[in-house]
Chain A
């Protein structure tokens, strides 16, 4: 086994640790740093339960090798709130019943935060028309398409959609 020392800034704290080259960022967060918010749903990039923000962008932490992200800044669901003050996306999920069992929720939350930032930067999606103004409140279709990488086995999609719409206002 080859171990490599890396430094990650996780939810604002600098963490230095030696990791097996094979370890995914997800495994390091869960097994080494005790941050079990991000979930291992599939370990193949298919479900989005492991979504975290890596240098500000949403990614599947199950497919990211930890050694390949030396020096990165990671925000997990545990780091979204500001102390006791929930992130607006978290508040909207509670108000709009954006979950049932809650297993997919950490990934949905991080993905929604990353996605709203992508919208703000004017990134198009597969359903964006030439004349659409991404500064407007996103349509249901925009939100659905942009959240396509987050599955919910409970089928709480109606609440998730409403919550993200609420948070985008």
Chain B
């Protein structure tokens, strides 16, 4: 691991200023992804600005009836939070479906959102990878890609975003609060993450030095009935092959509103907008769920070895929506 300077920030302005003063600074959350990537040689910052001591470790109710989650809240605390479990169970379930108890005790909300892809080539510095080393090529496209993207990939990158938590937040329409060199701003999810296009080195729309300070969940009363289901290659402690976050609002047998987002299928937590549009106003039946899911997957572009994700994800979506009836 390359030597680096460590600084602990106590307020957001100080964190941003410290970050800007070094040529290649990075923020440090729990370190469960960043320290690993530094050890692998994938990340080599010259300065780490620890942001876990910032006053962003609370989950608070907002005047609008939503929740404001500090970026330094640990994944385990968020999963166990009574208000989250009551009003947004999909978020608690998504967190608990990810990683292990030990990792969730270290991992923060900000770090979870910005964790990097688990594409095997990205993590192996002896291999080319456009995301790690722009212009070097994408061996995954013709190589090992059975667990990579089926939506929104490009010639330069077919990776998926690994976070479970982010999928639930994308379904809930969470708003990410950011401080940075250019001042504060808010970014609605799923808009934080971006498709790879021809610049896969950028996972998100954040500018250098921008710091996540909070994630706000808007009020969404029907999310009290919401669910996360994750399919993986072993029963527990593995990244998603496919994951579904869903909430369903049904009145008089008709779908009034719904939210569906998918994990393990794209470079971003994939909000299934076509599915949602098709389902709104339709009878709340298995048949409608199948039709809506088919509409979404009409735009899927599976790779040589991951076409299995299309029927798998479709079936999981239909199953989850039926459970929410």
Contacts and interface: CB of A to CB of B under 8 A. Distances in A.
A59 to B, nearest CB: 5
Interface stretch (A92-100, A145-153, A158-166): A145-153
B24 interface: no
Given A45-B103, A149-B103, A149-B237, A126 B96 contact: yes
Contacts of B5: 2, 21
B3 interface: yes
B6 interface: yes
Interface stretch (A29-37, A61-69, A77-85): A61-69
Interface string B1-31: 1011110100000000000000000001011
Given A21-B4, A21-B5, A65-B35, A60 B236 contact: no
B79 interface: yes
A59 B3 contact: no
A58 B102 contact: yes
B6 A21 contact: yes
A59 B76 CA distance: 11
The residue in B6, B52, B101, B236 that gathers the most chain A C-beta atoms within 10 A of its C-beta is B101
Contact of B52 (A58, A68, A124, A145): A68
A8 interface: no
Contact of A24 (B8, B35, B237): B35
A44 B36 CA distance: 6
Interface size bracket, A side? 35 or more
A119 B14 CA distance: 38
A114 B79 CA distance: 16
B32 interface: yes
A111 interface: yes
A145 B39 CA distance: 28
Given A22-B4, A146-B101, A124 B80 contact: yes
Interface residues on B, range: 20 to 34
Nearest to B238: A148
A68 B92 CA distance: 27
Contact of A148 (B31, B50, B76, B100): B100
Contacts of B101: 58, 111, 114-115, 118, 146-149
A63 B236 contact: no
A59 B106 contact: yes
B260 interface: no
A148 B35 contact: no
A20 B4 CA distance: 9
A118 B102 CA distance: 11
Contact of A60 (B38, B39, B106): B106
Contacts of A115: 101
B102 A149 contact: yes
Interface of B: 1, 3-6, 8, 28, 30-32, 35-36, 38-39, 48, 50, 52, 76, 79-80, 85, 92-93, 96-97, 99-103, 105-106, 236-237
16 contacts: A2-B3, A2-B4, A20-B3, A21-B3, A21-B5, A22-B3, A51-B102, A57-B76, A63-B35, A63-B106, A68-B8, A68-B52, A118-B76, A124-B96, A148-B236, A149-B101
Given A2-B5, A57-B76, A58-B105, 8 more contacts: A4-B6, A51-B102, A63-B32, A65-B35, A122-B80, A144-B236, A148-B236, A150-B100
